Amino acid sequence: MTRSFLLLLTSCVLAICTVAIAQTPEQEIRAVLDKQVINWNAGDVTAFMDGYQTGEQTTFVGKAVTKGHAAVLASYKKRYPTKDNMGTLRFEILETRMLGSEHASVLGKFFLTRTVIGGGDVNGVFTLLFKKTPGGWKIIVDHTS
């Protein structure tokens, strides 16, 4: 009986720990954005794009509409060719709204601190549409202004 009790107790502790460690979708999405900031600030645009879903459906809306992961990556590389141009990025998340179990929207502000040579400071707002994929939460639409 003691052995059965210990096994039951161990199972309960493991179950409680698993629940305590599990992240909410909002936390998982925030982790994607935090990783993007780290990658951007390291000067790695390609790694920054890991936060976006690969394929032709990915859409970036800014001054123009860019469709497809490869085209969005090429646009970022053209606009930010050097570390000076990339500067230091910071996000302020204003709202994360779940749109069912597999989609979410994120409303936020971005702040890009750059030298004069790099183009000067820039800031603005964004709305992101995330989709839960087998590889985790990915941005499928990015509207930044």
Per-residue pLDDT for 4 more than 80?
no
Task: Write the pLDDT tens digit of every residue in 20-58.
Answer: 478 999 999 999 999 999 999 999 999 999 999 999 999
Q: Looking at the whole model, is its pTM more than 0.95?
A: no
User: Got the DSSP string for 89-113?
Assistant: EEEEEEEEEE-SSSEEEEEEEEEEE
Pairing of strands 122-133, 103-113: antiparallel
Per-residue pLDDT for 84 more than 90?
yes
Interacting residues of 26 by C-beta distance below 8 A, sequence separation 6+: 96, 98, 104
The three-state secondary structure class of 80 is coil
- Domains along the chain with CATH numbers: 24-144 (3.10.450.50)
